[in-house]
């Protein structure tokens, strides 16, 4: 009888913890991609030369701020490109100070297991 009560109590605690974590992730406050949601944001990258083009990249598969940071960090590693990613809108705005092929942007994002839906130039 005591063993049964202990098992029920342990299962109840596990269920409570699981429900709390699921609530955080579904609301975008948790780190669904293996990272915490409370990390400091990186500084925005500044281009070294005058901007020559800006593009909007539509991305599927982002679920939280951690997804946003992962994509932005990798895009900003491309020389001559500065990215501003928004997971809620499902897009990245990229500014370039030199010609960069759409394929390079797409490969960078898709290596992280997200899907690029479209890349469009922004006319300014």
CATH T-level topology, domain 53-121: Alpha-Beta Plaits (3.30.70)
Mind spelling out the 3-state secondary structure of 43-106? CCCCCCCCCCEEEEEEEECCCCHHHHHHHHHHHCCCCCEEEEEECCCCEEEEEECCCCCHHHHH
- The model's pLDDT over 5-57, given as tens digits with 9 standing for 90+, comes to 888 888 888 888 888 876 665 555 555 655 554 455 567 898 899 999 999 99
Q: How do the domains of the chain map onto residue ranges?
A: 1-30, 53-121
- The model's pLDDT over 84-112, given as tens digits with 9 standing for 90+, comes to 999 999 999 999 999 999 999 999 999 99
The verdict on pTM exceeding 0.75 is: no
pLDDT at 82: 96
- The model's pLDDT over 7-20, given as tens digits with 9 standing for 90+, comes to 888 888 888 888 88
């Amino acid at each position: 009888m005591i063993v049964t009560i202990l098992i029920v109590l342990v299962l109840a605690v596990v269920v409570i913890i699981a429900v709390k974590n699921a609530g955080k992730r579904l609301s975008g406050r948790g780190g669904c991609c293996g990272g915490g949601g409370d990390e400091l944001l990186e500084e925005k990258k500044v281009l070294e030369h005058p901007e020559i083009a800006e593009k909007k990249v539509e991305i599927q598969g982002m679920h939280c701020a951690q997804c946003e940071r992962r994509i932005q960090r990798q895009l900003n590693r491309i020389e001559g490109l500065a990215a501003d990613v928004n997971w809620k809108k499902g897009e990245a705005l990229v500014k370039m100070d030199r010609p960069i092929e759409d394929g390079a942007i797409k490969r960078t994002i898709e290596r992280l297991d997200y899907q690029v839906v479209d890349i469009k130039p922004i006319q300014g």
